[in-house]
Every structure is written in C-alpha cells, then in structure tokens.
Structure 1
Amino acid sequence: MDLLETALVGVLLTCPVLASAREADEPLNERVRAQQEELEALRARLQVLEKNQAQDHDQLTRVRAGMTPIAPQLVPPGPATAPVETARASAMPTQAPAAKATDLQVEWGAGAPIFRSADGVFSFKPRGRILLDVSGTGGSRYEARNITTTGSRALRLGIEGGVGPHFFYQFESDFAENGVDVVTAFLGWRHKVAGLDYDIRIGNLFNDRGLEGSTGSDATPFLERTVVGTSVIPQRGFYGVGAQGRLFGPSWHASLTLSGDDVDGAYAVSDSRTLLARAHWNPLKTSHAVIHLGLWGFDERLSSAASTVTRNTVIGGRFNGNLRVSTGSLTGATHDTGYGAELGGYVGSLWAMAELGQRQVRLEDPRDFSHLAWSTSVGWFATGETPPYNPRFGNFTQPHVSRSVLDGGLGALELTARYESLDFTHALLAGRGWAATVGVNWYLNSFTRLMLNGIHWHTDNRSGDFTGGDDGQTVSMRAQVSF
C-alpha cells in the first residue's frame, strides 16, 4: 500500500468518528446512509487517481521508446463528498485516439529515409544511384586504344512507394551522360493466388533476363556485366514499355513479359514487339548454401525502324569506346530470338556462377546471323559475409555488411575473378574476343562500395578501325553510393 492509499484509509477510518460527534442527535439510519455515500465517493476517487498514475507511467514509457506521447486525459481531483454518480462517471476508462492517416512515421533505411503513414496504408522512399568510374588501357598495338577516361556509369534519382498491401510503384531517371533518360517507371499490384505470391507490373520495365542481365548496375560483382548480359539481348535494350507478371514459390520464380520499345519519342512507326520469359529454381536453399539454376529466352519481332542490328560490344570495360568486339554491318533484320542458361550458387562466403547465351537474327540478305557468349565467375568474401544473392528473384543484390566502416568496423572485402568469351564470327565481317578479369570490392557499408578491376583482353575484329588480333590490359575503378 503506497502513501496515497494509506492516507485515504486513514480518512475513511476517522470519518465515522467525526460524523458521530457532529451528528449525535441525528437518527442512526441517516448517519449510516451518509457515511456509506461518502465511502463510495472516496473509493471511486481512489480508482481515478490510480488510473491517472497508470497513464503517467505509460506516457513515460512511450517517451523513452521514442514514440509520440498520447494526449493525457486526467480527471482532476474533486471534493470527497462528490455525488456517487459523478465519481463513477469520472472513473470510466478512456481510449487513446486512433492513429490518423496524416500522422507520419519515419525510419532510416539503407542510405535513405523511409516514410510511412501511421495507419500503415501509405509508404514512400527516395531512390538514388551514383556510380563514378575511371578507366585506363595500355598494351594495345593501336595507340588509339591506349587511353584513360572518366565517366559516370549511373546517376539516378527516383522514388518508390505503395498504397495499402497490394498497390506499389517506382520511377527513376538517369542523368549519366548529361541527358535525361527515363529508366524504371511502372505501376504494380501484388497479391496471392493458390497460396503463392504474384505481382503484375505495367510500365517501362527492366529485363528479367539471365543472372547478371536481371541485376542492377549497382549490384553486379564486376564493373560491367558479362558478355552474355551485354550481347544476348533484345535489340531494344534493357528496358521496354509493356506488362510483366511474376509468380514466386518457396524456392523458385517465373516471369513473363510482353513489351514494345523503351520510353522514346518515335511514334511514326510501330514498335518492336518482345516476348520475354525467365524462370529460376533453388534445389538447395539454406542459410549457408544455395544452388541456382535458371533458363530464359526472348522472341523479338523487329520494327522497320530497327532493321539495322550492328553491335559493338564492350570487352575490356565500358569507358573505352575503341575497345569493342564488332558484328560488322548487319542490316535488313526482321526478327531475332535469344536464349540462355544459368548455373551457380554459394557455400559460406564463396560463390560461383556460370552463364551461357545465344542470339539468332533473321536477315533478308544474304543469310541469318547468330552468335554465342559464355562466362564463368567466382567470388569470396574475405570478411565472412554471405554472398549477396537474392533467392527470390535469382539475381545479385547488395550485401549485408557485418561491420560497417561508419560503426568503426572494416566493412566487407570481396575478391572476384571472371573469364568470358564472345564469338560473332558466324557473320562474314564479324569478330570475336575474350577477357579475364580479377577484382576487389570494398563495401564500406551496405550501400557504399569501392571497386577495382584488372582486365586482360583479346579482340579479333574483321572490320572497322582495329582489325586483326590485339591484346592489352585495362584497369578500372569505381566509387558508388546506392540507396
């Protein structure tokens, strides 16, 4: 019993004595009735005071937890002789006001704030990507290839958000080459069917095509995607306006996309039409090991404005425009198909992935064209992190850094190696090439990374300014922030 309760009990014990002294001449039954009323009023008042104390304790707990205090609803003390009905009404429990949609909750995500309405209906998050590169090449027998350049692989700004549990959206623009390009821009709906998650998206969509072909530029383990991801690709490129459906199982996913060209201003002719499908499966998936299998393919009916399909594919880094493997001139294309396979996984901190892809182009004259590309790559986190593989989508993502530099740790250190080959020689004037790359990635935290790639490359082009066999080395570095 606390001090307040002790005082009240003392008052209750003395009231009958005082009342009997003052009212010795009143009838006994009247005095008893009056004492009972006073006792009921005091008991009710005690309940109110106990409730006010509980509310004070709850307010203190919310403040310590960083939550917004609830406006107090205290009942002021009244005279001990207040009517019983008034005291009982004052003692009725009150409810805290419900959260309003206009109330805002903010939490810090990976490099950016996440805004949510207090009722949980609305969510919003800014997105951004800064990838800055420097590249130097030497050893080529062509001096024009021995150059040093700088550039921005990506300078993106965008938003993502949702309304309720089902509706979501995303929009991003890229300013990488002093221009404005709309990249990802879609509306989506997610739900369940037969116990499986699914989503449907409509807008300018990123390809779901191959392991690295479906990985964002800020999450690839090397500065540039493999030659499978850069050469076995629809003529329209990495994006197309259309619709995509995705279905997710406990260890697999499948997607189907129907799209036209990407966002552009060409409205005088029909778009190309692309049908793209991909599926991946993890026959083994534990917290320490994963096996990845994947298949994909696309069929593209080319627009009359896209009949020229000449390609110059990067082989030693993105920022040397003279260092490419060329198809030679290819015109009169009407249709193309591509397909590929993926195999890989990880154990502990070690990962390995291999990809194979082929593209066939139907030409009016003189004959069809096809080419083959493949790659194999490995990586190891020397600091013990789990490889950043996303089993839901079957692609790479950003790692979870155990000891961030911002918290006084060392960050995460990843060592990588890759060999890739590209063969265009099914065409008369086409070339071929290969590259061997070693790299190191230092993740300062989960959204900041420094990269270094050393590449030994070989090209053998049959057309253009750099024909014949040529070898050299390229060193590339990148600083990036992505959120």
Structure 2
Amino acid sequence: MILRTGAALLALVAATPALAQTPTQAELAELVRAQAAEIAALRARLDRIEGQQALAAAPAPASAPAQTPPPQVAQAAPPQVRRTVPFAPQLVPPGPADRDVAQATAARDNPSGVTTEWGAGLPVFHSADGVYTFKPRGRILADVSSTFGSRSDTRNLTTTGMRALRLGLEGGVGAHFFYQMEADFSENEVDVVTAFMGWRNRIAPGIDYDVRAGHLFNDRSFEGSTGSDSTPFLERTTVATAIIPQRGFYGIGIMPRLFWKTGHASLTVTGDRVDGTQAVSDGRTVLGRAHWNPVKTDDTVMHVGIWGFDESLSSAATTLTRNTVIGGRFNGALRVSTGTLLGGTGTTGYGVELGGYRGPLWVMGEAGRRNARLDGGRSDFVSKAWSLSGGFFITGDLPPYNPRLGSFGQPKVKRPTFDGGPGAIELTGRYESLDYTDLVTGGEGWAGTLGVNWYLNSFTRVQVNAIHWDTDNRSGAVTGADSGETVSARVAVTF
C-alpha cells in the first residue's frame, strides 16, 4: 500500500514538473492523508488476520542497554505492572460466528476489496464492502482403540471409529447478525449438530451480549462446553458425559449470553434435539452456566464456574437407562450402566468447576450430581461424578483456554511443525469417578488416564491416551468387579 502511495507521488511529480520543485501545502496534505488511510487499512487487515485487534497494547520491546546516568540524575526503576489481557492470544482467531461485536465491527468498518483471511485451515471470505463474511467449516477425528486385561473377552476389543466427520459453514452480515450450521457423518448417517442464527451487540464498554436460536450445543460444565475437537483427552470427563440432560448435548431453542471482561453467563431454554417426532410434545430443558476469572494476566488465569439444569421429559422419552463411557468411546462393552430404568418424568442436575493455568501448566477439577424423578411415587435416582485433570506443555506454549467462554479452544501454536518447529507438545493426566449405585441395578467405576497431545499446528494434532479403568456393574453382560487397560489414539484436523 505504501508503494502505491509512492507511485502516486511519482506520477504527480511527472505530470506537474513545477510540483517537483515546490509542491503546495494542500497537495502535500492530500498525499499524507491518502498514505495514512492506506496504512490504517493495512493495520486493520493485519489485525484481522492475526486476531489481535482486541489485544491491549503490548509493552514496547526492550531497547539496547542505556548508559548509566550520572549519579545526580539516576532514578529508581518504576515497578513492573502486570498487563491484563482481554482474551487469550494463544488461541486461533475466532470465526465469523464466534467473534465479539468489536471484532465483527472492525472487519465491517475496514473494507479493502474482496479479501480472503487464512488462519485455521480454511479461509474466511469478506465481501468488498466488509458487510458479508463467510467461512466453510470441517472436522475429521479418526480414532483407534485397543482394550486388554479384562476378565471378560467380550471387553478385550480392538476397534476403529470416526469420532467426528463434520462439514458446515458459518458467516455473518454486518457486525451484528451471524449464523452457523454443521452436519456430522461419523456413523454413516447424516446428523445435524450445530445449526443456529444469532445477534450480538454491546451494552456498555466491556459488556457484550449475543442471542442464539436454533439447534444449540449445551453450555454445561468445563469439558461439556468444550468442542470434541478441543478436549485435552480423547473423551470428555464423566461429569460431562453422565451429568447431562436426557436429550444429550443438543436441543432446539434459544440461548442468550452475557460477556464481561472476566467472565460470562448463559441461559438456555430448549425442547428436544433435531428429530422427526411431532406426535407428542417435546421435553423442556432450562440450563444456566456462569464462569468467572478472578485472576487473569498474560500467563495466569484462575477459573471458577457453576452450572445447573432442569428438564421435564416428553411422554415419548421416559427411559432413563444410561451406559456411560469409562475406558474409551469405541468399546461398546466397556461401560458403567444404570440397568434398565423406565418411568422417568424429569431430571435436575448441577455442578461446579475450579481450575486455571500458570504458564504452560493447567489444572481443572469438576464435580456434578443429577437427580432423576420417577413416576409412581418411587424415590429419585441420583447420579454422581467428579474428575481432576491437568496438563503441561513441554514446548512452553500456553494452554488453549478461552476466557470468553470458560472452555478450551484451538491453540495458536507458536512454532508449527510445517514451519520447521516442534509444534506444541502437551502431557496430560486425569482421574475420574462415576457412581450409579443409588439404583439397585446401578454400577460404578473410575479411570485414570495418562496422555500426550502433539499439535502440529493450530488445526492438526495427534493424541494418545493410556487408560486404566475399573468397573463394578450390577447388571448387563459383565457384572461384578472388573478392570483393565485401554490404549487409544486419534488423528484430528479441524478447519
């Protein structure tokens, strides 16, 4: 852009020889204004590409050591002040549907022709006037799992599976309207997952909101709110998989969310997930979550969260039977089971989250409880689960924590392998417990997991988990105490 301005100046000089000697102040001022405008547009484009337009000004780089001043003018160095950050620079830039209103406004107000923004696997397209934004989306998660050591051969299985195989799109119109849709093909069937439209705006400086309507992903628990392509382990914790509404992770409804500098809160009201059943009324689920970062600096964050839900079940969905993953998703015989449980009328669940990170080390603890209401005056069925997880990036990268949403996202790898670097390498560990023994037929179990994640770049990673599991089921094909090991691996691409 600066070269174009210089070319314009040379053309003006060539066209007007007298100007080469004595340009007028008005002509010089016009050239300066044009150059300043192009520089501003260039900066805006770079900000959008790097996702840094919302960052506070970084400290100036250190200059060469200055000479020691004379004793009579020497002054004490000012105390160092930690700079707080409004969002995590270690995350990839958000797509059109996940941007806040400031980021969306910047993209709209700085048009520079039709542009293509590359940042996380696939491009973001911007119209010439900056009004329309569009991005294709996709997710490929391929797993292999092998279980051994069980006393029952029915559990000693080696299997493969697609954890996710998604295609979708997202976009926006102006600074306020946005949309997103994805379909999953992982079970060789088309399954609509995320599908919504929304509106975002600013209430006051530092306070934003958005409202989404459509087929919505739950905002519930730390890992329950983290996408399957961003979880630090191959499977979410037992809190996320067991303390959950009967309809699962999705439902059709509305979700207003409020964001401030140190946290967010959401309220979701939905019916059932996408289905073809309209002969009876849907169930109803009301779900709320809030998180707060009481400590938030460049390299340290503390996370506190709370959530809860209440659901009234449809007359067509009164079965509360659960068979919950404990040693890997792709072994259908390895589950903690409630046994057959019919006649449910509703459930209420709640949980807490506490954790954070300091430099490359992160820790997160979660606990939850779910009460299932039964008809005929029977006692409620109670599910309990808790987990403690942690990780450490030996390459020095910061954990991909998203303080806007209180969940994990995709990391912005400092030294990608495709640029000759090592990528980001993370060591992880987790202990989790699940208890269904409030039922006569209910089981219990626990698992300890060690893992390693290798992020080749911001959208490609390899994961390996080694799990020792222990179950004690009172019903099903394998009853009584049993234990063993599962080794699982995943290759994942998200774009």
Structure 2 CA distance for aligned equivalents of residues 194 and 121 of structure 1:
23
In the alignment, which residue of structure 2 is the partner of 1:72?
Answer: none
Structure 1 CA distance for aligned equivalents of residues 209 and 23 of structure 2:
53
Map 1:116-155 onto structure 2 (within 5 A).
116-155=126-165
Map 1:272-351 onto structure 2 (within 5 A).
272-351=283-362
Is 2:13–2:19's contact at 8 Å kept on the other side of the alignment? Answer: no
- Segments of structure 2 that go 5 or more residues without pairing to the other structure are 1-9, 43-108
Structure 1 CA distance for aligned equivalents of residues 152 and 187 of structure 2:
26
1:252–1:47 distance in 2 versus 1, CA, 3 Å? closer
In the alignment, which residue of structure 1 is the partner of 2:223?
Answer: 212
Residue 374 in structure 1 maps to residue 382 in structure 2: no
Structure 2 CA distance for aligned equivalents of residues 47 and 101 of structure 1:
31
In the alignment, which residue of structure 2 is the partner of 1:75?
Answer: none
> How far does residue 251 in structure 1 lie from its aligned partner after superposition?
0.1
Is 1:122–1:161's contact at 8 Å kept on the other side of the alignment? Answer: yes
Out of 421, 427, 441, the residue aligned to residue 453 of structure 2 is 441
Structure 2 CA distance for aligned equivalents of residues 218 and 169 of structure 1:
20
Please identify runs of 4+ aligned residues in structure 1 that moved more than 6 A: 99-102
In the alignment, which residue of structure 2 is the partner of 1:408?
Answer: 420
Structure 2 CA distance for aligned equivalents of residues 5 and 321 of structure 1:
78
Is 1:100–1:118's contact at 8 Å kept on the other side of the alignment? Answer: no
CA RMSD of aligned residues (A): 2.8
> How far does residue 368 in structure 1 lie from its aligned partner after superposition?
1.4
Out of 399, 403, 408, the residue aligned to residue 411 of structure 2 is 399
1:120–1:144 distance in 2 versus 1, CA, 3 Å? same
Structure 1 CA distance for aligned equivalents of residues 360 and 113 of structure 2:
43
CA-to-aligned-CA distance 1:439-466 (integer Å, 9 cap, x gap):
0000000110000000000000000110
In the alignment, which residue of structure 1 is the partner of 2:273?
Answer: 262
Is 2:368–2:386's contact at 8 Å kept on the other side of the alignment? Answer: yes
In the alignment, which residue of structure 1 is the partner of 2:198?
Answer: 188
Q: Counterpart of 2:120 in 1: which secondary structure?
A: coil
> How far does residue 364 in structure 1 lie from its aligned partner after superposition?
1.5
In the alignment, which residue of structure 1 is the partner of 2:210?
Answer: 199
Structure 1 CA distance for aligned equivalents of residues 295 and 450 of structure 2:
28
> How far does residue 101 in structure 1 lie from its aligned partner after superposition?
8.9
Structure 2 CA distance for aligned equivalents of residues 109 and 237 of structure 1:
32
Is 1:457–1:472's contact at 8 Å kept on the other side of the alignment? Answer: yes
Q: Counterpart of 2:215 in 1: which secondary structure?
A: strand
> How far does residue 118 in structure 1 lie from its aligned partner after superposition?
2.0
Residue 228 in structure 1 maps to residue 239 in structure 2: yes
Is 2:110–2:130's contact at 8 Å kept on the other side of the alignment? Answer: no
1:5–1:381 distance in 2 versus 1, CA, 3 Å? closer
Structure 2 CA distance for aligned equivalents of residues 121 and 360 of structure 1:
47
> How far does residue 336 in structure 1 lie from its aligned partner after superposition?
0.5
Structure 2 CA distance for aligned equivalents of residues 479 and 240 of structure 1:
29
Is 1:188–1:200's contact at 8 Å kept on the other side of the alignment? Answer: yes
1:406–1:428 distance in 2 versus 1, CA, 3 Å? same
In the alignment, which residue of structure 2 is the partner of 1:22?
Answer: none
Residue type of the alignment partner of 1:380: F
Out of 177, 193, 196, the residue aligned to residue 167 of structure 1 is 177
In the alignment, which residue of structure 2 is the partner of 1:106?
Answer: 116
Q: Give TM-score scaled by structure 2 length.
A: 0.79
- Segments of structure 1 that go 5 or more residues without pairing to the other structure are 10-41, 66-98
Structure 2 CA distance for aligned equivalents of residues 283 and 482 of structure 1:
31
> How far does residue 369 in structure 1 lie from its aligned partner after superposition?
0.4
In the alignment, which residue of structure 1 is the partner of 2:479?
Answer: 467
Residue type of the alignment partner of 2:457: N
> How far does residue 240 in structure 1 lie from its aligned partner after superposition?
0.3
Structure 1 CA distance for aligned equivalents of residues 375 and 118 of structure 2:
56
In the alignment, which residue of structure 2 is the partner of 1:426?
Answer: 438
CA-to-aligned-CA distance 1:169-195 (integer Å, 9 cap, x gap):
000000011000100000100001244
In the alignment, which residue of structure 1 is the partner of 2:57?
Answer: none
Q: Counterpart of 2:269 in 1: which secondary structure?
A: strand
Number of corresponding residues: 410
Is 2:287–2:309's contact at 8 Å kept on the other side of the alignment? Answer: yes
Residue type of the alignment partner of 1:118: A
1:5–1:105 distance in 2 versus 1, CA, 3 Å? closer
Please identify the structure whose Cα radius of gyration is greater. Answer: 1
Is 1:223–1:453's contact at 8 Å kept on the other side of the alignment? Answer: yes
Residue type of the alignment partner of 2:197: L
Is 1:244–1:255's contact at 8 Å kept on the other side of the alignment? Answer: yes
CA-to-aligned-CA distance 1:20-53 (integer Å, 9 cap, x gap):
xxxxxxxxxxxxxxxxxxxxxx889x989xx8xx
In the alignment, which residue of structure 2 is the partner of 1:82?
Answer: none
> How far does residue 103 in structure 1 lie from its aligned partner after superposition?
4.7
> How far does residue 119 in structure 1 lie from its aligned partner after superposition?
1.6
Structure 2 CA distance for aligned equivalents of residues 43 and 151 of structure 1:
72
> How far does residue 398 in structure 1 lie from its aligned partner after superposition?
1.3
> How far does residue 399 in structure 1 lie from its aligned partner after superposition?
1.3
1:272–1:102 distance in 2 versus 1, CA, 3 Å? farther
Structure 1 CA distance for aligned equivalents of residues 441 and 268 of structure 2:
33
Structure 1 CA distance for aligned equivalents of residues 110 and 447 of structure 2:
58
Structure 2 CA distance for aligned equivalents of residues 236 and 295 of structure 1:
21
Structure 2 CA distance for aligned equivalents of residues 102 and 398 of structure 1:
28
Structure 2 CA distance for aligned equivalents of residues 252 and 108 of structure 1:
28
1:472–1:254 distance in 2 versus 1, CA, 3 Å? same
CA-to-aligned-CA distance 1:219-269 (integer Å, 9 cap, x gap):
000000000000000000000000000000110100000000111111111
Residue 482 in structure 1 maps to residue 494 in structure 2: yes
Structure 2 CA distance for aligned equivalents of residues 469 and 143 of structure 1:
14
> How far does residue 372 in structure 1 lie from its aligned partner after superposition?
0.4
In the alignment, which residue of structure 2 is the partner of 1:68?
Answer: none
> How far does residue 367 in structure 1 lie from its aligned partner after superposition?
2.2
